[in-house]
Amino acid sequence: MTATTSKVTWVSGLRFIGGTGSGHGVIMDGSQSDDPDGSLGPSPMEMLLLGRGIG
């Protein structure tokens, strides 16, 4: 079994960039914005729920 790696880097405010050992990345935005244009990506909690297959 091989180890899986990941890295999350804080950008500013509640914005983060996550990266995987396989070279994939995602922008996460935890800011509470009602404006869809104000959010750059899913929140970290949404990413966790996606990974678990919930919701």
- For the chain, the structural domain boundaries read 6-29+38-52
Question: How far is it, in rounded angstroms, from Cα 55 to Cα 11?
Answer: 27
Kindly tell me if the per-residue pLDDT of 42 is higher than 70: yes
Number of CB atoms found within 10 A of residue 17's CB: 15
Residue-level pLDDT at 7: 94
- For 18, list phi and psi in degrees, rounded to 5: -105, 140
Question: How far is it, in rounded angstroms, from Cα 16 to Cα 9?
Answer: 5
Residue-level pLDDT at 4: 85
Per residue in 3-41, pLDDT tens? Answer: 889 999 999 989 999 999 999 999 999 887 666 667 889
Residue-level pLDDT at 55: 65
CATH class assigned to 6-29+38-52: mainly beta
Question: How far is it, in rounded angstroms, from Cα 23 to Cα 37?
Answer: 26
